[in-house]
């Protein structure tokens, strides 16, 4: 990447105008970057953010797929899709009780999302 200058200053031929930027080796290995990106993609959806907030704010610390779908205004299949993504990312755990699935947060995994932003 080269620095660009505009106007007359860019035509002076100074060494600074053509000095390439020195790139250092990545501080984060590619595998770690991919793991983090997967986690961030899981929370980069408004419905999934709402779900995480609702479960976090629930008195019991858990919520049923039926209640979540109704609260967010999505069909149960669509909500199940969003919940599956959150479970696969390790942000939620799923427990089957009768015909319904109940979801709880994985606090350590959720804390990792915040740590990425620090």
State pLDDT tens for residues 80-93.
Answer: 999 999 999 999 99
Domains in the chain, CATH or no CATH each: 28-117 (1.10.10.10)
Task: Quote the pTM value.
Answer: 0.74
String of b and e for 51-74 (b: at least 16 CB within 10 Å)?
Answer: bbeebeebeeebbebeebbeebeb
Cβ neighbors of 88 (< 8 A, separation 6 or more) are 42
d(CA 31, CA 38): 11
pLDDT interval class at 12 (50, 70, 90): low
The rounded mean pLDDT for the chain is 85
Reference 106, options 79, 80, 81, 88; nearest CA is: 88
> So what's the pLDDT on residue 17?
65
Cβ contacts of 76 within 8 Å, gap of 6 or more: 65, 66, 69
pLDDT, mean of residues 92-108: 94
């Amino acid at each position: 990447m080269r620095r660009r200058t505009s106007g007359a200053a860019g035509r002076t031929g100074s060494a600074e105008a053509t000095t390439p930027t020195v790139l250092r080796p990545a501080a984060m290995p590619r595998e770690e970057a991919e793991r983090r990106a997967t986690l961030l993609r899981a929370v980069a959806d408004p419905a999934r953010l709402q779900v995480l907030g609702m479960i976090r704010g629930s008195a019991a610390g858990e919520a049923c797929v039926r209640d979540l779908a109704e609260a967010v205004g999505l069909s149960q299949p669509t909500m199940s899709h969003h919940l599956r993504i959150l479970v696969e990312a390790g942000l939620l755990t799923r427990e089957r009780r009768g015909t319904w699935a109940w979801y709880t947060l994985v606090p350590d995994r959720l804390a990792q999302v915040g740590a990425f932003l620090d």
